[in-house]
Chains A and B, each alone.
Chain A
Amino acid sequence: MSGSMRRTSVPPGPEARAGLTLRGVRIAIRAHVLIPALDLDIGPGECVTIMGRSGAGKSTLLAYIAGTMEPAFSAAGQVAIDGVDVTGLAPEQRRIGILFQDDLLFPHLSVGENLAFGLPASLRGIPARREAVERALAEAELAGFARRDPATLSGGQRARVALMRTLLAAPRALLLDEPFNKLDAQLRHDFRRFVFDHATERGLPILLVTHDVADATAAGGRTMTLEA
C-alpha cells in the first residue's frame, strides 16, 4: 500500500485533532449586524446545530467558514481547523466539506465521475480510483451505479452520492446547510442517519444549520439559536 493512500484513509493522532474552532466571528450586512460575536468549539465527531429563521445569517455563517461568502456581507473573526487558522486561505485550500439543500451533482458527469471528481489526485491509477468509487457507492447502497447519469437517480440517491462525493475529498470538517429540507419525511429520516453515521465514523466536526427542530433533535448535540 502506498504512503499517499494511507494519508487519506487514516486519521492523524488525537493531539492534532482539535476540530472546528470559531473565535469572535462577526457578520454584518451594511449596518445590520447578523451575528455579533460567536465563539464555538466543535470537537471531532461532534455535531452542533444552529437554529434560526431564514435571513438570520445561518447560511452566511457557513459561507464565511467555507470562505465563499458574498462580498455584500462584511465579516471578521477566526476560523481554525484542528488548531490551524484557515481564515486567510482560499476555499479550495481549507478542506471543508459542505452539503446544501440541492445535491449539486454535475450533470455532465456520470455518478462515478462525480465521485472521482471528489477523490484526491494522490490516489493514483485508474483501478485504485475506480475501486475507491465503487467502495463509496457500496457504502451508499448504490453498488453498480457508477455509469449512471445523475438525472436518472431518485432524490434520496442523489443526496447520498453528494455526501459521498464530499467525504471522498477527505474534508476535516463538515458543514450542513439545511441538506434535509427537500426530502420527504421517511427519506429525510434515513438520510439524516446516513449523514451523521458517516461523518461521526470519520471523526468529523459537524456544523448543521436548520430551521427544523427535528433536524436538531436527530443531530443530538448542542443546539444554538441565532436571534436576528
Chain B
Amino acid sequence: MDDPHHGRVGAAVHEVTRARGGVLRLAPALTVAVFLLPIGAGLIGTALPAFGYLPAIGGRAFGIAPWRELFASPGIATAVRTTVVTGIAATLVSVALALGFCAVAHGRRWTRRIGGMLAPILATPHAAVAIGFAFVVAPSGWIARALSPWLTGWALPPDIATVGHASGWPLVLCLVAKETPYLILMIAGALHQVPAARHLGIARMLGYGVTEAWLKVILPQIYPQIRLPILAVLAFSLSVVDVALILGPSNPPTLAVLAVRWFGDADIANYFPGAAAACLLFAIVVGAMMAWVALEHAGEAVGRRWIARGTRSGAASIGARAAFAMTIALCAGSALAIVGMSIWSFAAQWRFPDALPGSLTLGNWSRLWASLAVPVATTLALALAATLIALLLVVCCLENESRTHRRAGDRALWILYVPLLVPQIAFLFGAQVLLVSTGLDGTFGAVVWAHLIFVLPYLFLSLADPWRALDPRYARSATSLGATPLELLLRIKLPLLMGPVLIACAVAFAVSVGQYLPTLFAGSGRVATLTTDAVTLSAGADRRVIGVYALLQAALPCCAYLLAVALPAWRMAHRRARWT
C-alpha cells in the first residue's frame, strides 16, 4: 500500500474525477427539474383557473365562481363520496392483502422468484387489466357465461349492473388486483434490509408461529420502507382515470373522471369548474394522506399493546391465510382477464352464454392491422425515447453519487415520489395550458416529457439499489489498473449491472406504455397510443376489437420484460460456450 506509484495513480484519478465531475454534478438537479418543473408549473396552472384566472380564454377576474359552479353541479356530492370510498377501500384492501400474503409466504422456496412471477401483472398496463376485468365481471362476461345457462338459467345476459355499478366495486377490485402485487414487490425489496430470517427464528423459539411472528417482528421493521409506496397507492387509487373510465360509475363518475370530462368539453367555459374539481381532488389526496399518517400512529399504539400481550393464539395467522388465498385468487383473476381478452381478439363469433367462442380466426387482427400501425409505432417510439432519456439521466445521477460519495438521502426519496403522490389531473391541465401557450402541445417531444415525469422515478427506484450494492472493489481494482472513470463506467460497471439495467429499462418501458392521462393532455388528444385508443374503444366498441388492443397493450411490456431477462442469460450461455 505504500507503493508511491499507487499513490500517484490515485491522485491522478482523483484529479480526473474532479475534472469530469463538472457535467455529472448537474445530473441530479437536471433530473429533478425534468419532473418537478412541469408538476410545479402545472399545479399553479391548474390552481389559477380554479379561481377564475385563465386569460387565454378570457378569464381575468379572480373569484370563487368556478368553485360555486363545481359544488352546484348535479351529483357532485356523490362523486366526491365515490372517489373517497373507492380510493380508500382499494388502498386498505391492497395493503391488508399484501401484508397477509407476505406474512404467509415468507421464507418459502418459491418466493425467491416472486419478482419474476409478479412481473407480467405489474407490466400489464392498468387499462388492459381493467378492460379484461370488465369482460370477466360484466353481465355478459365470463363469470356469467361459466354459470349459464346450467345454473342461472340465463339465455340472455341478465339486466344487472356490474361494470359501472354506482358503488364502484369493480373499480376497487381491479385496483386491488393491480396494486397488491406492486406492494408485495416493495415489501420483498424492503425485507433485504432487515435480518428477517434470524429475527423470525428467535420469535419462533419464543413460541410464535411464522405468520404471527412476521406481523409482530418483521412488519414494524420494514414499514418505514413501504410507507411511500403505500401513499403512492393511496394517491393513485383516489385519482385514477383510465380504470375509473372503464370500470367505475358513470353518472356521476369519480371526481378525477369528472374533471377530465370538463376539460374535454366542447364548451371551454367548463375548464373553470374542471380546474376546481382537479384542485379539490388534490386537497382530497392530501387529506387522505394525512389521515393515513394518523392511522399509522393509531396502528402503532394498538400494535405495541398487541405485541406486549404476548398472545401466540394464531388468530392473526387465520386472517393472513385468508389474505394469501385472496391474493392468489386476484392474481388468477388478472391472468384470466388478460386471457379472456386474448381469446376475444381471435374470436370469430362468441355468443352468450357460450364459455368459449365457436370458432377462432385471425380476421380481427388482419382487419385492424392497418389502423394499428400508427398507435403501435407511436407507443414504441414514446416508450423507447422516454426510457433512453431516463436511463441516461439516472445513470448520470448514480454515477455522480458514486464519484462524490454522497448518497441521496431520505429527502431525495420523497422528491422522487412526488410524481406518484400528486394526482395527475391536478397538474396535467395546467401543464397543457403552458404547452398550448408555447405551441408545443401535441408534439412528440411534449408527450415524451410527460412520460418522463413518471418513467424517471420508476427507473431510478429500480436501478438505485443494485447500483449501490455493486461491490466497490471492482471499481477500485479497475482504477488501479489505470482505467479512467469513464472507462470504468462503460467497461466495468454497466456490463456488470447489465441485468438490473435491462430490468429497470423494462419497468420504465412498461410505465410509458401504460400512460393514459399524460398522453392525452400533453398530446392535446392528437397523439394516439395503444392505451389511449384502448380506453376510448372500451366505451362501447366490439369486444373483438378491444381484445386486439388489450392484448397488444399487455404484450409489448411483457415482451420488453422477457427480453430484459433473456438477454443476459443468452450472453452468459454464449460466453460459456466460447470457453469450452
**Chain A interface residues (CB < 8 Å from chain B):** 66-68, 71, 90-93, 95-98, 100, 102, 104, 106-109, 112-113, 116-121, 123, 126, 129, 165-166, 169, 171
Inter-chain residue pair count (beta carbon < 8 A): 81
Tell me if A116 and B312 are in contact (CB < 8 A). Answer: no
Tell me if A91 and B310 are in contact (CB < 8 A). Answer: no
B149 CB contacts on chain A under 8 angstroms: none
Tell me if B310 and A123 are in contact (CB < 8 A). Answer: yes
Q: Is the interface of B mostly helix, strand, loop or mixed?
A: helix
Tell me if A68 and B307 are in contact (CB < 8 A). Answer: no
B81 within 8 A of A: no
A120 CA to B195 CA, complexed, in Å: 24
A25 → B minimal CB distance (Å): 19
A228 CA to B221 CA, complexed, in Å: 39
Tell me if A97 and B308 are in contact (CB < 8 A). Answer: no
Tell me if A106 and B199 are in contact (CB < 8 A). Answer: yes
A126 CB contacts on chain B under 8 angstroms: 308
B111 → A minimal CB distance (Å): 14
A67 → B minimal CB distance (Å): 8
Which one of B201-209, B377-385, B504-512 contacts A? Answer: B201-209
Instruction: Point out the residue from A100, A102, A118 that lies within 8 Å of B206, measured CB to CB.
Output: A118
A134 → B minimal CB distance (Å): 13
**Chain B interface residues (CB < 8 Å from chain A):** 109, 195, 198-199, 201-210, 213, 216-217, 220-221, 304, 307-313
Tell me if B307 and A121 are in contact (CB < 8 A). Answer: no
A166 CB contacts on chain B under 8 angstroms: 205-206
B202 CB contacts on chain A under 8 angstroms: 98, 100, 104
A123 CB contacts on chain B under 8 angstroms: 310
Tell me if B199 and A92 are in contact (CB < 8 A). Answer: no
A102 CA to B312 CA, complexed, in Å: 24
Tell me if A108 and B220 are in contact (CB < 8 A). Answer: yes
B198 CB contacts on chain A under 8 angstroms: 100, 102, 104
A120 CA to B207 CA, complexed, in Å: 8
Tell me if A121 and B309 are in contact (CB < 8 A). Answer: yes
Tell me if A120 and B205 are in contact (CB < 8 A). Answer: no
A191 → B minimal CB distance (Å): 18
Q: A106-B199, A113-B304 are in contact. Are A121 and B312 (CB under 8 A)?
A: yes
Nearest B-chain residue to A162, judged by Cβ: B202
B305 → A minimal CB distance (Å): 8
A39 CA to B46 CA, complexed, in Å: 78
A71 → B minimal CB distance (Å): 8
Q: A106-B217, A108-B221, A113-B304 are in contact. Are A119 and B310 (CB under 8 A)?
A: yes
Instruction: Point out the residue from B109, B204, B206 that lies within 8 Å of A68, measured CB to CB.
Output: B204
Tell me if B310 and A116 are in contact (CB < 8 A). Answer: yes
A7 CA to B203 CA, complexed, in Å: 22
B313 CB contacts on chain A under 8 angstroms: 121
B309 CB contacts on chain A under 8 angstroms: 116, 121, 129
Nearest A-chain residue to B221, judged by Cβ: A108
Tell me if A95 and B207 are in contact (CB < 8 A). Answer: yes
Tell me if A92 and B308 are in contact (CB < 8 A). Answer: no
Q: A106-B217, A107-B221 are in contact. Are A113 and B308 (CB under 8 A)?
A: yes
A165 CA to B308 CA, complexed, in Å: 12
Nearest B-chain residue to A105, judged by Cβ: B202
Tell me if A113 and B307 are in contact (CB < 8 A). Answer: yes
A95 CB contacts on chain B under 8 angstroms: 207
A113 CA to B305 CA, complexed, in Å: 9
Tell me if B310 and A96 are in contact (CB < 8 A). Answer: no
Tell me if B199 and A129 are in contact (CB < 8 A). Answer: no
A158 → B minimal CB distance (Å): 13
A129 CA to B308 CA, complexed, in Å: 9
B498 → A minimal CB distance (Å): 29
Taking A93-B207, A106-B221, A117-B206 as given, write out 8 further A-B residue pairs in contact, using a Cβ cutoff of 8 Å, ordered by the A residue number.
Answer: A67-B204, A92-B206, A104-B199, A107-B221, A108-B221, A113-B304, A121-B309, A129-B310
- Listed A/B pairs (19) with beta-carbon separation below 8 Å: A68-B201, A68-B204, A92-B207, A92-B209, A92-B213, A96-B205, A100-B198, A104-B199, A106-B199, A106-B221, A109-B304, A109-B307, A113-B308, A117-B308, A121-B311, A123-B310, A126-B308, A129-B309, A171-B205
Nearest A-chain residue to B206, judged by Cβ: A169
B218 → A minimal CB distance (Å): 10
A92 CA to B213 CA, complexed, in Å: 10
Q: A121-B312, A123-B310 are in contact. Are A97 and B205 (CB under 8 A)?
A: yes
Instruction: Point out the residue from B199, B201, B213, B310 that lies within 8 Å of A118, measured CB to CB.
Output: B310
A95 CA to B205 CA, complexed, in Å: 7
A165 CB contacts on chain B under 8 angstroms: 206
Instruction: Point out the residue from B209, B216, B304 that lies within 8 Å of A90, measured CB to CB.
Output: B209
Nearest A-chain residue to B222, judged by Cβ: A108
Tell me if A91 and B204 are in contact (CB < 8 A). Answer: yes
B523 → A minimal CB distance (Å): 47
B311 CB contacts on chain A under 8 angstroms: 121
A146 CA to B364 CA, complexed, in Å: 71
A49 → B minimal CB distance (Å): 20
Tell me if B308 and A116 are in contact (CB < 8 A). Answer: yes
A118 CB contacts on chain B under 8 angstroms: 206, 310
5 closest residue pairs by CB, A with B: A116-B308, A108-B220, A91-B204, A121-B311, A121-B310
Nearest A-chain residue to B223, judged by Cβ: A108
B304 CB contacts on chain A under 8 angstroms: 109, 113
B216 CB contacts on chain A under 8 angstroms: 117
A90 CA to B221 CA, complexed, in Å: 24
A107 CB contacts on chain B under 8 angstroms: 221
A98 CB contacts on chain B under 8 angstroms: 202, 205
Tell me if B208 and A116 are in contact (CB < 8 A). Answer: no
A174 → B minimal CB distance (Å): 10
A137 → B minimal CB distance (Å): 14
